Structure 1
């Protein structure tokens, strides 16, 4: 029976070498390297341009290129992005190997040199690198002295306490309280530290405000710090609250601010009420200045006439008969009835027989025909 073949020492060494070598991939070029920034020129004047290249960055990562003052590669940018020429910054995306190349215009930063070209990631995990650069003709001043002794570090995650009220819904400035715990990792006590709290809207650089905390933090000790944060009236959208101490950003906290819908409702009501009020005022003015005509009673419609019955016509008045009996129509001169009173007109008989009386006149002394 044959025995199993044994692996010789050279073969075993070669196998171990293959196992230790990393597999070829897009990340092998930057896995063990730190981000590096190189400049085509070390000095240039305002209005010119330089080429900034780099390697060792994460692939497909968006980077921001800024020319900053009061900065060195050892201490970084002391004043943060407020010390950089932000308007002339450029963005670039690394390739699959973590490399990039981009032209950057030369502009004067808002603070004196020493200056650097600052490159930092805009998304994902934070990474940054600086390269020394001199702006020709720009003033140069020494960096502020670095304080020694006490050094503060954030020990816990920061948070924003508070909520919006009814007035905030109508455009009042939203406010919160930034709460965090810091520890003194230095060798000296820190008394009444002055923090810088910055608020940034979207991708804009933060606006920094100084906030002093009253108290003493001994070496190795820690303290809970609460600092007020307030935005402008009517602010809404995505904000980022940053905390900085000693020129170093210690923490960042996102803050989503709702839209003040009360202001929108107010403008809608204003657009409805004001035109209505102006229309009513205009109609009142027209009614007052138009000429007044003589009062004329309009004819009533037939269906609106009074339903009371019309007064009955008055009966005709009868004129009393003042004719003397002997001058009446029923008698004649020389008749036998001369001395007879004629009956009143209203007392005459209305029977048919009364109309058959003989009206033939008779002659006195003559008898009628037999």
Structure 2
């Protein structure tokens, strides 16, 4: 996880979501972005624009997805995709969905048209479309993409990736900047596609790098739960995965090192043939390293039966004792995973300590 954290280190927040799209997911993403942007002085004025554009990106996936849900499953491991990246001076939104090949040429032409127009021209075109509805709702640019271009003020980026004789992947990216006068477009749609390909290859459902505050954790958990419900996979085993994830994220929230005013970390949840794999990483204070390492080493050394006994004892006697100086959270993780987890402590070139844990199904 450390390598991935380093790859994303310039980003205040990175949230990648692959799976079912619905209003609940949209609301959680908007809430997560508003929670951060509302407290980010330089970007706070972008909050309403970003919320609007997140909703438009999701509607774009639904609007241009020219394949039925049953068809999507069989197309080259494709997953509908949304990502938000928050930088110091801008927010980047990107999405991917299936589109029928018969609509590709028309859509590409209309995106080119939208990108060629200035603000006043876009407004005029918007009003004309409201009156005449000339752009088709399926495959066409429509009012949604025009609104995206107007709100962003920078060119929309797109890429079409042919998959079958009938379908292609449609990638769309846009950015909202803090100061348009002193800014140029930086979005790289090819890099977004490559990152998406890696996420799909690893069967990742959610990837998040950023602040692990209580509000952020709640939104992430609810997104995952909604994903399970939509896919019909909310089994007792997956409920255990959710509980385990809650403990892992709370561990970062409580014990992670404060960086730039927040408890920052990274986590992912991916799907395997046996179930769901949870990975998480964060920096920890050096003065806490010895006691934390002792606690997790102790838990890892115990059998599942011993973990269950310790867990029950901890519920009755929650105080810390010499016998296993560990918290209920670590025991909960070990109990739900059947002690099937690995971890490591990495000393960075800056002499910081990065802790990562991988919990297998």
| TM-score above 0.5 | no
Report the TM-score, using the length of structure 1 for normalisation: 0.20
Report the TM-score, using the length of structure 2 for normalisation: 0.20
Question: Which structure has the larger Rg over C-alpha atoms?
Answer: 1
